[in-house]
Amino acid sequence: MVRSDKLDDLYQELILDHYKNPRNRHYIEEADIKAEADNPFCGDEIALQLKLANSHVGEVGYQGKGCSICRASGSMLSEAVVGRTLEEIEELAATFKGMMRGRELSKIDTETLGELKVFLDILKYPIRIKCALLAWVALEEGIQKFRSRA
């Protein structure tokens, strides 16, 4: 067997599924919030568009290139933010970032994160942490820009 157990461990089923079948891939031209970011280290490039409806996120567009962790993280983000307010998204982003920086999770954190907890595994591969964070950091910047325009 040439297949590596380590890789099986890293690319958990959920991450693999989002990598292979990214959600919300369409580009939203008339989005309220647009964000882009790259991580030249492994060629990651992501773009996000959020369209608001009654101060909640109604629709998300997400396009990603690069490594599987980055692409899966953006796809899972795009599912996680639908229906939330910008304040809730910022809270979620802060919790996710905390997790990726090794902070201990409270019970509430764990509930807030839901499926996003699969990225805890990535802490074993420090070189990939930036990949997992890329879309979240970009989204936070996009929200800040949107607020400064409003």
Interacting residue ranges for Zn ion, rule: CB under 5 A: 42, 44, 67, 70, 131
Q: Return the number of the residue (14 or 42) whose C-beta is nearest Zn ion.
A: 42
Nearest to Zn ion of 53, 127 (CB atom) = 127
Instruction: Quote the least distance from Cβ 64 to Zn ion, whole Å.
Output: 10
Collect all residues with Cβ–Cβ distance below 8 Å to 30 and sequence separation of at least 6. 51
Strand order of the sheet with strand 44-53?
33-39, 44-53, 56-65
Token output for 111: 């509930």
Q: Rounded distance, CA 70 to CA 75, Å?
A: 9
- Give 57 or 131: the residue with its C-beta nearer to Zn ion: 131
Report in angstroms how near the CB of residue 68 gets to Zn ion at its nearest.
8
Residue nearest to Zn ion (CB): 131
Q: How far is the CB of 117 from Zn ion (least distance, A)?
A: 19
Q: Quick count: other Cβ atoms within 10 Å of Cβ 46?
A: 25
Question: Measured from the CB of residue 145, what is the shortest distance to Zn ion in angstroms?
Answer: 24
Find residue 52's DSSP bridge partners.
Answer: 57
C-beta closer to Zn ion: residue 28 or 46 = 46
Q: Which two tokens stand for residue 145?
A: 């820009």
Compute the distance between CA of residue 96 and CA of residue 138 in angstroms, rounded to an integer.
13
